Amino acid sequence: MAIVLLATHNPGKVREIQALVDELPPSIAGLIELVLPQRLDIQVEVQENGQTYQENAALKALAFCRASRLVTLADDSGLEVDALDSAPGLHSARYSLLLAASDADRRTLLLNNLQGFPRPWLARFRCVVVLAAPWSEPPKLEFYEGICPGEIIPGERGENGFGYDPIFLLAELGKTMAELSTAEKNQLSHRARAIKAALPGLVRMVGR
């Protein structure tokens, strides 16, 4: 069994990634065990001070790979809204001046900032996934990207997502990201697309 460390504490991400790994042929999926840092008692603080998604994901992948000496998967993602010059972008998870701001707080701020701009409020989710291999120093890194286009709507819909999912509409489906089933999200989301692109590299690394 090959252990792959996920450089995250976000349970929503873990569920999405596990579901995608489970889509691999059983002979391969059964050889990969995804684990979180807390299970291995790994405590690493990473300052996400990069200027791009790639830099932030690489910072996390390198730190956790070095701490664990395991193949490590990290990601960084954000919501880019055209009317706001691609904001909140890199700051999507910290898009509020409130201490301990919730996802709902960030959604409210985004919608407030969009008032006065004509609709549709075109947007996209972007995700960069980084795989880090522990057998060299510095660890070898591989980068993959996924993009999901859509638009922001003024009212929340759906219960299945997190973050900005309830106000992110996929126009071709007429559903928000939070209204999608797990199976639908694993075909369409930015993270799903990035992870799917990364899976051949992950299989190659754990089979080394």
pLDDT (0 to 100) of residue 52: 96
Encode burial over 183-208: b for 16+ CB neighbours within 10 A, e otherwise.
Answer: ebbbebbbbbbbbbbbbebbbebbee
Q: Where are the beta strands (DSSP E) in the chain?
A: 2-6, 32-35, 71-81, 87-88, 121-133, 140-152, 168-170, 175-176
For the chain, counts of helices (H) and of strands (E): 6, 8
pTM of the model as a whole: 0.90
What pLDDT is stored for residue 1 in this prediction? 74
CA atoms within 13 A on the CB side of 87: 13
CATH code where residue 157 lies: 3.90.950.10
Query: In the chain, how many domains are there?
Result: 1
Name the DSSP letter for residue 139.
Answer: P
Per-residue pLDDT tens, the chain, 208 aa: give them. 788 999 988 777 777 788 888 888 887 778 888 888 888 888 888 888 899 999 999 999 999 999 999 999 999 999 999 999 999 999 998 888 777 889 999 999 999 999 999 999 999 999 999 999 998 888 999 999 999 999 999 999 998 878 999 999 998 899 999 999 888 888 899 999 999 999 999 999 987 7
Domain of 148 in residue numbering reads as: 2-206
Residues acting as catalytic residues? 76
The rounded Cα 91 to chain-centroid distance in angstroms is 13
Across-strand partners of 126? Answer: 78, 147
